[in-house]
Amino acid sequence: AQTVTQSQPEMSVQEAETVTLSCTYDTSESDYYLFWYKQPPSRQMILVIRQEAYKQQNATENRFSVNFQKAAKSFSLKISDSQLGDAAMYFCAYGGGATNKLIFGTGTLLAVQP
């Protein structure tokens, strides 16, 4: 079975600085997708970035980028030039194979200090 682990329950960053959130996963599948979702207090899960496992190039979306290490089964999220609006719970998620469901980690609560 696939698992997703986020080992940082909480992180803090100064406004305009860079922060990296960690995620590791376990799977025996070769074709899968990895996602980072943001969940503010309003509860709506917002897709931040996604990575196809077959692509070696790391995905980027404006200030958000990932470091995807397939052999190590690691998928970290880097947020550059942090803004107050980035404060939220961040979830790493796995989707792949015959299943359509997403498997989520336990989340990292990110605080942004002004």
Partner 1 sequence: GAGVSQSPRYKVAKRGQDVALRCDPISGHVSLFWYQQALGQGPEFLTYFQNEAQLDKSGLPSDRFFAERPEGSVSTLKIQRTQQEDSAVYLCASSLNQGPSQPQHFGDGTRLSIL
Q: Which residues bind partner 1 (CB under 8 A)?
A: 4, 32-33, 35, 37, 42-47, 50, 52, 91, 93, 95-97, 99-107
- 54 burial level (CB within 10 Å; 0-12, 13-18, 19+): exposed
CB of 37 to partner 1, least distance (A): 8
CB of 112 to partner 1, least distance (A): 20
| Cβ closest to partner 1, residue 39 vs residue 58 | 39
CB of 107 to partner 1, least distance (A): 5
| Cβ closest to partner 1, residue 36 vs residue 81 | 36
